[in-house]
Amino acid sequence: MRILITGSNGLLGQKIVDQLNNSSTTFLATSKGENRNPLCADANYQQMDISNVVEIEAIFNQFNPTHVIHTAAMTNVDQCEQQPDECNRINYESVQLLFEASIKYNTHFQLLSTDFVFDGEKGNYKEDDLVNPLSVYALSKVNAEQLLNASSNTNWSIVRTIIVYGTANNLSRSNIVYWAKDALEKEQELAIIDDQFRAPTWASDLAWACIRICELSKIGIFHISGPTTFSVYEIVEKIAHYFNLSTKKLTKSNSLNLNQPAKRPPKTGFDISKAKTELGYNPKTLEETFSIL
Ligand SMILES: NC(=O)c1ccc[n+]([C@@H]2O[C@H](COP(=O)([O-])OP(=O)(O)OC[C@H]3O[C@@H](n4cnc5c(N)ncnc54)[C@H](OP(=O)(O)O)[C@@H]3O)[C@@H](O)[C@H]2O)c1
């Protein structure tokens, strides 16, 4: 295998690089900025803007990947709502460019997608449940998914995931476990919503699944998340209990109070039985990951 990774400076991208560093697989890590992952050797890194067709063609021509794991995206959901054209350009049009190159070079194309493709009315979503995006970000991912679905080329996979957390270097944004742990340690006032439900996903488990899909030459959609769905409030409460931090300043709130530009689905969570059966996916519980944070 020769795996091309996009977004290698991001949380998931860094975890994929870490795992491939410990394997015999040849890989090329790419991201928009300079290499910010100290665990990624410069020899394995090249800058590539996923919206630049010339850069994409040059990288495919030079590296000739068997697989692309496409993690790069505009991931700030509220920013996407405020900049819909930019969101569409990065999350949809760039997928067109990368998928076209993948077809040309006979490369398996793997797209990272999201639980936000669903409206959150049902919860515990299966791969073939109907999508109904509520935000610009979600719509951009649905459009990218549909591009693959509609193609006569079936050499692709879609990995949908849910709030991803873990440690990495020089990230441009924090993730819920770190953010909440830090705020609890500083005894800040914390009003946390208890009307949105998610299955938080350990970034290393997700990276493992993305690579596993390539190794097994799987195609189609896979739901990859942590094993249990909690309210956001429950997640923060669990962090406090595990690390023995005071919950005195922790209060329950609801989504309306947040006044966020982008609408979020109230209840997601995945049925991950397909991933368990077909990939041998066995994600860690929240508590198991707290012990190795
Ligand atoms: N994190 C979550 O909770 C979550 C939940 C559901 C789905 N997902 C999906 O999972 C994937 C990975 O998420 P993540 O949390 O690892 O993302 P992330 O940490 O926000 O990283 C995204 C990376 O994309 C790169 N990127 C942005 N624009 C680019 C461009 N024009 N050209 C090349 N690279 C570009 C950035 O590179 P530079 O840093 O080099 O600029 C950034 O490092 C995304 O597709 C996201 O939509 C994530």
Evaluate: CB of 11 within 6 angstroms of ligand 1. yes
What domains appear along the chain, each with residue ranges and CATH number?
A: 2-166+200-226+268-286 (3.40.50.720)
What's the pLDDT at 151?
A: 98
pLDDT tens by residue, 71-113: 999 999 999 999 999 999 999 999 999 999 999 999 999 999 9
Evaluate: CB of 32 within 6 angstroms of ligand 1. yes
Evaluate: CB of 4 within 6 angstroms of ligand 1. no
What's the pLDDT at 225?
A: 98
Nearest 5°: the CA angle 252, 254, 259 is 130
Query: Which of 210, 245, 27 has the alpha carbon at shortest distance from 109?
Result: 210
- pLDDT at residue 170 above 90? no
Evaluate: CB of 268 within 6 angstroms of ligand 1. no
pLDDT tens by residue, 3-18: 999 999 999 999 999 9
Alpha carbon nearest to ligand 1 atom 26, residue: 72
What's the pLDDT at 173?
A: 78
pLDDT tens by residue, 2-58: 999 999 999 999 999 999 999 999 999 999 999 999 999 999 999 999 999 999 999
Nearest 5°: the CA angle 138, 143, 144 is 100
Evaluate: CB of 163 within 6 angstroms of ligand 1. yes
Residue 293 confidence class, pLDDT cut points 50, 70, 90: confident
Q: What is the 3-state secondary structure (H, E, C) of 198-261?
A: ECCEEHHHHHHHHHHHHHCCCCEEEEECCCCCEEHHHHHHHHHHHCCCCCCCEEEECHHHHCCC
The pick from 48, 71, 148, 223 for probing ligand 1's pocket by mutation, whose C-beta has the most ligand atoms within 8 angstroms, reads 71
Q: Which atom of ligand 1 is nearest to the CA of 94?
A: 31
Evaluate: CB of 17 within 6 angstroms of ligand 1. no
What's the pLDDT at 190?
A: 95
pLDDT tens by residue, 246-282: 999 999 999 999 999 999 999 999 999 999 999 999 9
Task: Give the tokens for residue 160.
Answer: 């949908």
Evaluate: CB of 140 within 6 angstroms of ligand 1. no
- pLDDT at residue 174 above 90? no
- Tell me how far apart the alpha carbons of residues 123 and 233 are, in angstroms, rounded to a whole number: 17
Evaluate: CB of 161 within 6 angstroms of ligand 1. yes
Q: Across the chain, what does the average pLDDT equal?
A: 97
Ligand 1 center to residue 190 CA distance, Å? 27
Task: Give the tokens for residue 168.
Answer: 């990495």
Alpha carbon nearest to ligand 1 atom 47, residue: 75
Evaluate: CB of 9 within 6 angstroms of ligand 1. yes
